[in-house]
Structure 1
Amino acid sequence: MIRNLQATICLVIGLIFVSSFAWASSDRIGVAGPLTFGKTAFELAWSNQPSYQYYVQKYLPKGETLEDFSQQLAIHLVITNAKPEAAVQEQIRYLDERQDSFDPVVNYAVSKSPDGEYMLDFLVSEIEDDCLTLVEFNIYRYKQIRLSNNQPALIIYTYSARSYDDQIIPFLESLVSERVGYLNQMILSEIPSVEIGIYPFPNE
């Protein structure tokens, strides 16, 4: 099960900077949207099932695209009995490796609620020719759930805010004061209820 979780977390990370793909935007998990975060509405823009135990859907403000968005909500659904803490630690391991290898901007913090939910917020970037071209602030909220067929699953509800090129410095400066507001908004957000077809539980 740990190997399965590691592979899935790699897919989650790999989809952070996903751009243009031919995959459909049809609803796969019973969350057609729109969703809201703060005062912004987000419409379903992209969905995929990278493996039989992993579903992902991304939502954008009207008029924005996956190639050039300012904000994004996403739902990652993993059919697994792994605990949220294991997923958080796997994500942190990746962020540490990313920072050591090629991304000096990486920074993160973890919090845990009394009911066992975890929240990880982190900063990542893209660099071209020694210049920052993109910075992305992410909040990942982890919750263990059971599907209607009683399968255990892990839902990761995420919010991302991006800035590009010459807007990066003002974005980072404003993030110092706005970060807590983003975190509070995620805490107040209701994680959407999901529903999928009945699939066999993956082998441990």
Structure 2
Amino acid sequence: MTQGCTWYGEDPIYIKYHDHEWGVPEYDGRALWEKLVLDGFQAGLSWITILKKRDAFRTAFAGFDPVKVAAFGDDDVERLLQDAGIVRHRGKINAAIKGAQAYLQIEQEIGFSKYCWDFVGGAPIQNNFTSLDQVPTSTPLSTAFSKDLKKRGFNFCGPTIVYAWMEACGMVNDHMVGCPQHKAVQD
């Protein structure tokens, strides 16, 4: 029996996220970077925790303006460590700043969106999973992508984080075949 997506449960925030954001192809480079940063902050936590704090993250990180975040210094790190609205983890905060610097370099060289989408040949990979147990937590592609991101200066972007980010940004369509969003993303 084919089932739809069930991972998001009954929380209205999660339902809205699933139905309107998750898996929808994202081509804006800045938005891709924001989602990568948030996926890095999610490491070891539940995604709903990050979703509930997303507005606070946006405020704390200057609207995820990579130019501003790339210029953050020690005072900003200390300010962020005191911000109860976000995940207060020095390593993740420093990774976001370093990631902003890496983002700017890639953006200048080839464009961050092009860089990301080139990994999947410019279009979403269309999976046809019928149950959650078929969905991988990482793939050889997410492993290669992760290694390249790290080589370019990103942190908190292991293969599992990168695969989750690729799903969220629509680089892979992992909506279940029985989910109405599967066809919407496919089209």
Measured against the shorter chain, the TM-score band is under 0.3
Which TM-score applies when normalising by structure 2?
0.25
Which protein is richer in helix relative to its size? 2
Which protein is richer in strand relative to its size? 1
Which TM-score applies when normalising by structure 1?
0.23
